[in-house]
């Protein structure tokens, strides 16, 4: 018998929507199909604007949620078509939604989503709102993927780090015989993407070539590393609330070349990760990278230089970097339907294990 789930992820980078269809009937999930759809410029702008306070936010957020549901339904249809599967074969869709505010210190994290509309459009049960129960139990609501990383990538002998380079960076620490640990390290793609878009009009720095053409500015790097977030002990998580273009430009000297700023941002990503690993007193045997940042060869190279550890994409372990998070939310949806906890209290700081997600019937 098959045990089919679809996971959907659209991350802080706002670069598009990824979906994966997987069969969980075996010992390890089998990925059957995947699909991606980019955000339209209009929807991307709307979602980005909602990350800050503005006029008529409630109305604008609901319009954006409906537009997201249509996009999510489209990527589900693409995935089913690629797999040659029918909607009636799918147990559920795990849909994280689009984070516009992450404020666990105030007791909430808001993901724009319209799960009832998505269920209506696809005819498939939807599981959403994964973060809120963990936050209600005193946790950060993030990161949530370490439990999945542990299931998929833990080794009985090697100390492994799974590094997600999305809009933010987060790590999962897998040490044989020890509890799983994980936390956010700081900004990854979010600042590099925003800076190159402002300066050159590109959505991202392909392979990190622009960053590689510049020189790191030590003064700017040290000023950024002085942000209080980096000194916080885990559990911790971060978002656009802490790291954004306004924060960056407030620290910049006017004489800096744009490419040098990009080089410094790349080093901020690599340095904050390696500093975090040292603070966690872990010396990994290997670091596997997922998320869009796995395609940034410059950042990958700088990580390897700074850590002294082999750094490689999770595809070397059998799962493509761009599908790890989507697959994780398919797994979390399955946990919800089976009444199984999806969080790790040692990671999020919650008072105990919790079943995550609200279920919307088809």
The per-residue pLDDT for range 104-161, each reduced to its tens digit, is 999 999 999 999 999 999 999 999 999 999 999 999 999 999 999 999 999 999 999 9
List, in order of start, the domains of the chain with CATH numbers: 4-138+326-343+351-360 (3.30.420.40), 146-317 (3.30.420.40)
Mean pLDDT of 314-330: 96
Percent of the chain having pLDDT more than 70? 100
pLDDT of residue 317: 95
Tokens 């004489």 map to which residue?
255
Phi, psi of 31 (to 5 degrees): -75, 125
Tokens at residue 123, please? 């005819």
**Nearest-angstrom CA–CA distance, 259 and 261:** 5
pLDDT-derived band of residue 15, with 50, 70 and 90 as boundaries? confident
> Using the 8-state DSSP alphabet, how is residue 196 labeled?
H
Which residues, in sequence order, are CB contacts of 228 under 8 Å at separation 6+?
none
Helix (H, G, I), strand (E, B) or coil at 45: helix
Q: pLDDT (tens digit, 9 = 90+) per residue, 341-360? A: 999 999 999 999 999 999 99
| Averaged pLDDT for residues 230-245 | 96
Please report the pLDDT score of residue 13 as a whole number.
81
The model's confidence at residue 12, banded by pLDDT at 50, 70 and 90, is confident
Q: What is the pLDDT of residue 73?
A: 98
Summarised one tens digit per residue, pLDDT across range 283-316 is 999 999 999 999 999 999 999 999 999 999 999 9
Q: Please report which confidence band the pLDDT of residue 1 belongs to, taking 50, 70 and 90 as the band edges.
A: low
Read off the pLDDT of each residue in 44-50 and give the average, rounded to a whole number. Answer: 94
The average pLDDT across 15-34 equals 95
pLDDT > 90? residue 14:
no
**Cis, bond preceding 335 (omega within 30 deg of 0):** no
> Given the structure tokens 């697959």, which residue do they identify?
327
Determine the pLDDT at residue 37: 96
The model's pLDDT over 181-219, given as tens digits with 9 standing for 90+, comes to: 999 999 999 999 999 999 999 999 999 999 999 999 999
Q: How far apart are CA 316 and CA 287, in angstroms?
A: 11
Q: What percent of the chain clears pLDDT 90, i.e. is strictly above it?
A: 97
Look over the chain and give the mean of its residue pLDDT values, rounded to a whole number: 96
């Amino acid at each position: 018998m098959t045990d089919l789930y679809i996971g959907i992820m659209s991350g802080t980078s706002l670069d598009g929507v990824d979906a994966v269809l997987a069969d969980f009937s075996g010992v390890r999930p089998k990925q059957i199909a995947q699909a991606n759809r980019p955000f339209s410029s209009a929807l991307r702008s709307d979602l980005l604007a909602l990350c800050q306070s503005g006029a008529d936010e409630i109305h604008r957020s609901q319009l954006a949620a409906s537009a997201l549901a249509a996009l999510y339904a489209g990527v589900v249809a693409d995935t089913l078509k690629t797999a040659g599967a029918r909607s009636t074969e799918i147990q559920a869709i795990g849909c994280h939604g689009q984070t516009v505010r992450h404020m666990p210190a105030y007791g909430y994290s808001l993901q724009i989503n319209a799960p009832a509309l998505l269920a209506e459009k696809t005819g498939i049960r939807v599981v959403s709102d994964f973060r809120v129960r963990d936050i209600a139990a005193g946790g950060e609501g993030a990161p949530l993927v370490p439990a999945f990383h542990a299931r998929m990538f833990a080794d009985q002998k090697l100390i492994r780090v799974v590094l997600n380079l999305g809009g933010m960076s987060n790590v999962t620490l897998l040490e044989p015989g020890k509890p799983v640990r994980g936390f956010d390290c700081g900004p990854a793609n979010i600042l590099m993407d925003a800076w190159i878009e402002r300066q050159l009009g590109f959505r991202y720095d392909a392979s990190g070539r622009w960053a590689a053409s510049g020189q790191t500015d030590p003064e700017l790097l040290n000023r950024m590393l002085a942000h209080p977030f980096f000194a916080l002990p885990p559990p911790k998580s971060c978002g656009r609330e802490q790291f954004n273009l306004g924060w960056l430009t407030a620290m910049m000297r006017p004489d800096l070349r744009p490419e040098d700023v990009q080089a410094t941002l790349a080093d901020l990503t690599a340095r904050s990760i390696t500093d975090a690993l040292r603070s966690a007193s872990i010396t990994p045997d290997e670091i596997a990278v997922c998320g869009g940042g796995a395609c940034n060869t410059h950042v990958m190279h700088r990580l390897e230089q700074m850590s002294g550890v082999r750094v490689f994409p999770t595809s070397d372990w059998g799962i493509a970097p761009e599908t790890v998070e989507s697959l994780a939310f398919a797994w979390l949806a399955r946990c919800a339907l089976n009444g199984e906890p999806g969080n790790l209290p040692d990671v999020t700081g919650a008072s105990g294990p919790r079943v995550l997600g609200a279920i919307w019937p088809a």
